[in-house]
Amino acid sequence: MSADQPVTVEVGLGDRAYDILIGPGLLARAGADISRRLPGTRAAVVTDENVAAAHLDTLRAGLERGSIQPAIITMPPGEKTKSFAHLEEVVDGVLAAKLERGDVVIAFGGGVIGDLTGFAAGIVRRGMNFVQIPTSLLAQVDSSVGGKTGINSPRGKNLVGVFHQPKLVLADTGVLDTLPIREFRAGYAELAKYGLIDRPDFFAWLEANWEKVFSGGEERAEAIAEACRAKADVVARDEFETGDRALLNLGHTFGHALEAATQYDGARLVHGEGVAIGMALAHRFSSRLNLASPDDAARVEAHLRDVGLPWRMADIPGDLPDADALLGFITQDKKVSRGALTFILTRGIGQSFIAKDVPASEVLSFLKDNHPASRKAG
């Protein structure tokens, strides 16, 4: 694979279908790829300080080669940027650049920037064109695909937002070389998630090839493309998360509760780490409910441990709220419907399913037994 031949994955949404291009060197040709699909547009690029320092010059040059002179809007890095205050900053920046509805807003960063920028693009002028250029592994395989955008509330994660599909996703695998190892691992949790949902062969492939995925090259691009295909398939079936798409939340109900419990402090827990712990908890909870073998939970935990990810609540530095408070965060999660708890559980590796009406008492008991304060915590 060369920069001239990226892997293309199509997200099939009829007249709103769009391509995900995956490969090295895509920043340098971003202007041409965007102009081909959105000719004559002007653009605003929303990024964060870290990404701007590492890659903005390359992207700007790539856009200018396609005759796009971008306005730049720079945000602070971190989960706390997904807020009303920073949403207002982005909206004001786009309006200050005098962009019209047919122009394009480009998200250039990780999942935080993608979610924030997509939300802004979805509401400015009642909906502007939107392009994702994800710079983290997590964003390339998950948050940049599918059109879910939003910000956090003090009451929970991603509770305010819209569905707003991009026109194009450019996943430049080369930018991942500058990603801190902790962030790469966090993104890897979402890669593993696709295997655990319904691709057991992919999970087995990751168990055998994860070191090559970390080191780069063909295996990295192959893993990203397979994850994007998996997500694209689900999004095409269920764009607005009324059915199957909820499967993509494997690990997220526990994970989001842990993120809220740490007040979105990235020094303690980043999103992908929360998902990793959440996936391990979901498999362990499924075993506790006699839905799956404990061997499957052990296998998931072993793989997460091998790649250096946290896999239990005790791996989070600092104190956590008690089990009752954690349950409170879970009941506030947007995947609750009319008070009933909905979890993604599993009957085995690659056999995840949507479990509705999960008894809160079972969840509370499980949280107590797995809380770091409990001597039973694994």
- Residues labelled as active-site residues: 126, 148, 190, 231, 241, 245, 249, 252, 256, 271
Pull the structure tokens for residue 241. 């998360």
Interatomic CA distance for residues 258 and 263, integer angstroms: 9
DSSP designation for 163: B
Q: What is the 3-state secondary structure (H, E, C) of 259-290?
A: HHHCCCCCCCCCHHHHHHHHHHHHHHHHHHCC
Asked if 42 contacts 95 with a C-beta cutoff of 8 angstroms, the reply is: no
367-378 burial code (b ≥16 CB/10 A, e <16): bbebbeeeeeee
Q: What is the 3-state secondary structure (H, E, C) of 45-105?
A: EEEEHHHHHHHHHHHHHHHHHCCCCEEEEEECCCHHHCCHHHHHHHHHHHHHCCCCCCCEE
242 CB-near residues (< 8 Å, 6+ apart): none
Pull the structure tokens for residue 70. 């971008």
Phi first, then psi, for residue 158 (nearest 5°) are 60, 35
